[in-house]
Amino acid sequence: ALLHEENPFWTHLEVLESVTSTNTELVSRTRAGEARPGTVLVAEEQTAGRGRLGRAWSAPAKSGLFFSVLLRPHAPAERWGWIPLLAGVAAAGALARTAGVDTGLKWPNDILATGADEERKIGGILAERVDGEHVVLGIGLNVTLREEELPVPTAGSLALAGAQGTDRDPILRAVLRAFEDWYGRWTAADGDPASSDVLEAYAAGCVTLGRSVRAMLPGGEELLGEAVAVDGDGRLVIASEQGVQRPVAAGDIVHLRP
C-alpha cells in the first residue's frame, strides 16, 4: 500500500509499463480534466522523458524511479517556484535515510550523491504549471543504473553510491512521505519559505552555496562568481569578484572548485 489510508494526501497511484513521459501524460490528463490533485503516476519506462531547460531525461527501463504528482497548491502562485526546491529537500533527505547515501542539492534541484571526493547527479526534478491552478511535479531518480549505462560521466545512481537497499517501492514511499511533509509545512505557512523552514533546510542541503560557480543564463549570458545565498524567491545569489551580487532565477550552474 503506497497510499496511506489514514491520510489520503495521495488520492490515486498508477503504475504505467511504458509512457513517453510521466510529466507529459499527467499534464495532458490534467488539461482534459482527467486527473485529481494527489495523483501519482509512476512509469517503469519512459520513451521521451524530459528534463529542465528542454533537455531529455533518458534511463533504461526499471533502472530508476520515474514519477509525477499532481498538485493544486493553496499558496500564492508567486511562491510556487519553491515547489521543486522543497521536493529536492524532501527527496535528498528521504534517499539519505532510506538508502544510507550522502546526498546534497545542486541549485536549483539536482539531487547529488556526495562522496568523499566526488559528486554525482542521481536525480532531477521538473515542475510544470499546467494552468492557473495546477502544478505537475516530476521526479526522476537513478536507482540501479550501472556505470556503463550512465548518460553523462557526471551522473550516478544510488547503487553506484553504495546504497543499502535499491528496492524501488520503499524509496518511492519514503520520497512521497517526505514530500508530503515538507509540502504540508510550506502550505501551512502560505508558501513562505522562511517561516516554514523550507529555506533553511534548502540552504543546509545545497552544496552550491559557498562555491565558485559558472552560471549559464537562459539568454546565453555567462556569469562567474561565488554562490553566496539563496534568496526568498529561491534564486541563487552570485557575487562577482568585484562584490556585485546578482540573483539568478534560472540557468545552468557548473561548480568550479570544491
Closest CB to ligand BTN among residues 68, 208: 68
Closest CB to ligand BTN among residues 127, 238: 127
- Minimum distance between the CB of residue 151 and ligand BTN, rounded to whole angstroms? 11
- Minimum distance between the CB of residue 25 and ligand BTN, rounded to whole angstroms? 8
3-state SS track over the chain: CCCCCCCCCCCEEEEEEEECCHHHHHHHHHHCCCCCCCEEEEEEEECCCECHHHCECCCCCCCEEEEEEEECCCCCHHHCCHHHHHHHHHHHHHHHHHHCCCEEEECCCEEEEECCCCEEEEEEEEEEECCCCCEEEEEEEECCCCHHHCCCCCECCCCCCCCCCCCHHHHHHHHHHHHHHHHHHHHHCCCCCCCCCHHHHHHHHECCCCCEEEEECCCCCEEEEEEEEECCCCCEEEECCCCCEEEECCCEEEECCC
Strand order through the sheet with 212-216? 245-248, 236-239, 222-230, 212-216, 252-255
Closest CB to ligand BTN among residues 67, 202: 67
* Cross-strand bridge partners of residue 121: 112, 155
Residue nearest to ligand BTN (CB): 124
Closest CB to ligand BTN among residues 111, 230: 111
Beta strands at 252-255 and 103-106: parallel, antiparallel or unpaired: unpaired
Closest CB to ligand BTN among residues 55, 62: 55
Binding region for ligand BTN (CB under 6 A): 21-23, 46, 49-52, 55, 57, 66-68, 110, 124-126, 138-140
- Minimum distance between the CB of residue 106 and ligand BTN, rounded to whole angstroms? 10
- Minimum distance between the CB of residue 254 and ligand BTN, rounded to whole angstroms? 14
- Minimum distance between the CB of residue 205 and ligand BTN, rounded to whole angstroms? 16
- Minimum distance between the CB of residue 240 and ligand BTN, rounded to whole angstroms? 27
Closest CB to ligand BTN among residues 7, 47: 47
- Minimum distance between the CB of residue 56 and ligand BTN, rounded to whole angstroms? 9
Kindly report whether the peptide bond that precedes residue 108 is cis, defined as omega within 30 degrees of 0: yes
Closest CB to ligand BTN among residues 21, 157: 21
